[in-house]
A = this chain, B = another copy of it.
Amino acid sequence: MKRKGRLIVISGPSGVGKGTVVKALMDRDPRVRLSVSATTRPIRPTETDGIQYHFITHEEFERMIEADLFLEHAQYVGNRYGTPEKAVDEMLEQGFDVILEIEVQGGVQVMHRRPDAITIFIAAPSFEELARRLRGRGDTDEEKVQMRLQQARMEYLIAPQYQYIVVNDLLEDAVDDVQSILRSEELQSEHQQHLLKEAL
């Protein structure tokens, strides 16, 4: 019997480096795939449709909601983002672990819709460090930085609903942490029942 993949939700505040953690994880583990979200925000010159996002219209987005085709969807700064469920399920059936790198709003939806999902919140070592990272990536508009920190505070209040909280201090440690989580989740006795068949 072929192994079915696991659904993994990774959330965390803007600037915490969750994209970097996810990328490093995929470099290490060929069983891990990243889900491509659909969005209504305009495509940027550096982007390709279907790679960073599936770029769709507001009307298409609404139609997908009505047809219940999203695993989760959320609104962010006037644009809409959603995870098409079918593509995720196909990758899971093929045996890939599928990562959803999504906002907490969507993360909570996945917890309810797919209670078997592994949910990980990536936190910063401190808010001071988070502010430093936000400024470091060229966000020099102090008002924007303060707004993102305020948003982060709200996200931290939702973080306890995630199963795991990983601090992204040193990248390598954070990736080790996530790999430990994925490894140990497979060892939980409820997933190891096949080992007992000889005893029965």
User: Interface SS of chain A: helix, strand, loop or mixed?
Assistant: helix
Interface size class of chain A, counting residues whose CB lies under 8 Å from the partner chain: 35 or more
**Minimal Cβ-Cβ distance residue in B for A194:** B165
Question: Across the interface, do A180 and B189 meet the contact criterion of CB distance under 8 Å?
Answer: no
A57 to chain B, nearest CB (A): 36
Does A188 have its Cβ within 8 Å of any Cβ on chain B? yes
Does A67 have its Cβ within 8 Å of any Cβ on chain B? no
Does A77 have its Cβ within 8 Å of any Cβ on chain B? no
A148 to chain B, nearest CB (A): 13
Task: State A152–B162 Cα separation when bound (angstroms).
Answer: 37
Task: Digitize A169-190: 1 where CB-to-B-CB distance is under 8 Å, 0 elsewhere.
Answer: 0000000110111011101111
Task: State A192–B159 Cα separation when bound (angstroms).
Answer: 10
Residues on B with C-beta less than 8 A from A195 are: 123, 156, 159, 165, 167
Question: Across the interface, do B164 and A199 meet the contact criterion of CB distance under 8 Å?
Answer: no
Task: State A180–B180 Cα separation when bound (angstroms).
Answer: 4
Residues on B with C-beta less than 8 A from A163 are: 188-189
Does A140 have its Cβ within 8 Å of any Cβ on chain B? no
Task: State A152–B198 Cα separation when bound (angstroms).
Answer: 10
Question: Across the interface, do B198 and A187 meet the contact criterion of CB distance under 8 Å?
Answer: no
Residue in B152, B189, B193 whose CB lies within 8 Å of A121: B189
Question: Across the interface, do B167 and A189 meet the contact criterion of CB distance under 8 Å?
Answer: no
Q: With contacts A184-B181, A189-B159 known, is A199 near B153, CB below 8 A?
A: yes
Q: A121-B189, A177-B183, A180-B187 are in contact. List 13 more A-B contacts (CB 8 A).
A: A153-B199, A154-B199, A156-B198, A157-B200, A159-B189, A160-B193, A161-B189, A164-B184, A177-B187, A179-B180, A180-B183, A183-B184, A184-B185
Interface residues, chain A, CB within 8 Å of chain B? 121, 123, 126-127, 152-154, 156-157, 159-167, 176-177, 179-181, 183-185, 187-190, 192-193, 195-196, 198-200
